Structure 1
Amino acid sequence: MSRTMEWAARPEHLGGIPRKLVIAMVGTFAKTVSSFLNTTSVHNADTLLRLVRSRPRRVPLITISNHMSTLDDPAMWGFKGFPIFDTKLARWVLAAEDICFRNALYSYIFRVGKCIPITRGGGIYQEHMNEALERLNDGEWLHTFPEGKVNQEEAPIRRLKWGTASLIARARITPIVLPIIHHGFHEVMPEKYMFGRRPPLPLWNKKIDIIIGDPIELDLPAMRQKAISQSRSESFPIVGWPSTCDGLDEAAQRCFYATISEQIHAAMERLRCFGKSLLKS
């Protein structure tokens, strides 16, 4: 399968002018939603700003968050002080192909805006996941929603898909993994507002809270060895995943990605609980 409009995602496409225009329009929209129409408070913003602006050279960054609305990205980056108009610092983000890439115009705009199409249910080795891995290997910032779909319930973090874990495991340089929990976007863009549909425009006078955690410490070598040992005593349905460059077969990969996902899930759930206590205080 050829990559959807990959040429439009390249920074040199038409001298970078389309990207600058799209990032400017998207940034203006995000600032309007988060900083003018609604009230947004951010906890620990300095950690995110530092990692976006000045992390070690070539070290990739993965931010992960819950997914409360179709506006989460880009609106969550519209808070005051965030460099949302900088095309070089802007995140790459995994975006649902069936929503963001429905036709040629949408595909072009989202591609220029540094979005990578993901087919839900397409597996962790689909072509565009390899593209996301390439961006990480370039030392870029990638944002993912590992729950895999919008969840507007006031409930614990759902079981995470393994795609994000596989990217962390396969990247040449282990990414910095930063959890983010937000609350309020489900009121700005409720899934069932008018006749069971989303409103045509974002709602206003809502309170948005963004809680940024600290980087998650992942001991990948130890987790890899544990996965190899564990895989020898468990059976999995085999679908034909390729072996990794360090020799992990499919069974070991499944154990490895599950272990990484569980640790990320635990960190996100702790941050969610911390956020709840923060909002009550």
Structure 2
Amino acid sequence: MASDQIEMSKSNPNKISLQQPSLPWRIASSLSMGLTAALSRGFLYGFNSVETVGLDRFLDILDKRKDVEKRQRGLITVSNHISVLDDPIMWGVLPLRYGFNPSNHRWGLGAHDICFKNKFLGSFFFSGQVLPTHRSKYSPHGGLFQPTIPQAIRLLSSQPSVSPAPAASENSHDVADPFTSDGLTFTTTGTDRYVAPSQYARNRLSWVHVFPEACVHQHPRLYVRYFKWGVSRLILESDPAPDVLAMFIDGTQRAMAEDRGWPRFLPRFPGRFRVAFGEPVDPERAFGDLRARWRDLVRRNQHQGRPLGELTDELKYGDEAVRLRVEVARRVRDEVMKVRKSMGYPDEEPGLGLELAETWAEEPSKDRYKSNVDDSLVNKKD
């Protein structure tokens, strides 16, 4: 997956151009994303009823981002996670022209043990703009500080990463230490290798979608679990502050219910799908105070000079850094809950404390289980 994606400069064949991936790679990406979008849209509108809220507003946002040179900020979308089909089915509400334009479509985080368990699947998902993400339950390489998170941070940012190692040439895309450096490739385990999408100019200020619950959570009244802190890192560390837009989805949990019988791999239909897009959040109003505290913490820890997304131990594990991530995640969850409420769903029951990770600390360690917190069906595997 790290082969022949870097387009060489025509004026100087010995110089690597970081404007965009090679033409074959762009074609493969457009086809994989476009055909997936066509299948998703065909399933949604061909076999089900679909209701969208705020779609025209969201399409207007995407249209304004079409010209990469005119983008002012990256874009983070966040939503609840209610089935294994959420992505890509939820993007089936977008007209097909968006599916065939990867430079103006989402980057996502996909479970390494599912999406990248063999070369074929890995190539398909990577060309579909899915970043390999390890989950701590299944891999020692998982967690908040794995190399994939800096890639997402850099995709959301405007500044190019630090220049690649001087040794890089037409025949070598390696850097001295790809596990911790922001060179032309990155590795998630120390042995695998992926082309770093953040190195391309066309990928700056990109759109990244996140499911902060980080697992499938099917509640009969669509309650939402606490949000994990990966989204906090994206908001605190991206430069400039990205726009944040909350979403809420309903319907895929009936198409792929966690308690479905055989054949489990087939979605059920017909059904009713609802996809709501909220208003874009002003990042300075919503998170400016927290980002200011983060920048001050960075200065005090002499962090200058490190590649974007790489942190000292204090910035990883220090009390102030943890408090900032907790508060960002809470505020992001509040935005998703606003969209949920606007769709007419009942308020959460008081006392559940769904926003608190501690509430869920005693949950079973099984992949699939019925929650002892709110009677929802939880699937950590998918």
Q: How many residues get paired?
A: 261
Q: Give the C-alpha shift of residue 251 in structure 1.
A: 2.1
CA contact (8 A) 1:227 1:255 kept: no
CA contact (8 A) 2:110 2:132 kept: yes
Residue in structure 2 matched with residue 68 of structure 1 by the alignment: 82
CA contact (8 A) 2:31 2:100 kept: no
CA contact (8 A) 1:58 1:140 kept: no
Q: Give the C-alpha shift of residue 14 in structure 1.
A: 2.4
Amino acid at match of 2:102: T
Name the CA shift for 1:13/1:68 in 2 (closer, same or farther; >3 Å): farther
SS in 2 for 1:194: coil
Counterpart-to-counterpart distance in 2, 1:86 and 1:131: 20
Q: Give the C-alpha shift of residue 185 in structure 1.
A: 0.5
Counterpart-to-counterpart distance in 2, 1:148 and 1:52: 25
- Given candidates 21, 27, 30, the residue that maps to 1:17 is 27
**Which is richer in helix?**
1
- Given candidates 46, 62, 75, the residue that maps to 1:52 is 62
How much is the aligned-residue C-alpha RMSD, in angstroms? 2.8
CA contact (8 A) 1:8 1:111 kept: no
Residue in structure 1 matched with residue 241 of structure 2 by the alignment: 174
SS in 2 for 1:159: coil
TM-score by length of 1: 0.83
Q: Give the C-alpha shift of residue 156 in structure 1.
A: 2.0
Counterpart-to-counterpart distance in 2, 1:253 and 1:162: 11
Q: Which has the higher contact order (CA 8 A, sep 6+)?
A: 1
Counterpart-to-counterpart distance in 2, 1:12 and 1:277: 46
Counterpart-to-counterpart distance in 1, 2:290 and 2:33: 38
Equivalences for residues 242-257 of structure 1 within 5 A: 242-243=311-312, 250-257=318-325
- Given candidates 320, 332, 335, the residue that maps to 1:267 is 335
Larger Rg: 2
1:201 matched to 2:266:
yes
The range that moved more, 55-64 or 177-186, is 55-64
Q: Give the C-alpha shift of residue 19 in structure 1.
A: 1.1
Q: Which structure 1 segments of 5+ residues have no match?
A: 230-240
Name the CA shift for 1:63/1:243 in 2 (closer, same or farther; >3 Å): same
1:128 matched to 2:159:
no
Q: Give the C-alpha shift of residue 86 in structure 1.
A: 2.0
Name the CA shift for 1:119/1:21 in 2 (closer, same or farther; >3 Å): same
Equivalences for residues 36-185 of structure 1 within 5 A: 36-55=46-65, 57-79=71-93, 81=95, 83-121=98-136, 122-137=142-157, 138-153=204-219, 154-185=221-252
- Identity of paired residues, percent? 26
Counterpart-to-counterpart distance in 2, 1:15 and 1:117: 18
Counterpart-to-counterpart distance in 1, 2:153 and 2:292: 22
Counterpart-to-counterpart distance in 2, 1:46 and 1:113: 24
Deviation string, structure 1 residues 29-88 (Cα, Å, up to 9, x no partner)? 111122212111100112211222214514110100111111111111112636222222
Counterpart-to-counterpart distance in 2, 1:222 and 1:173: 14
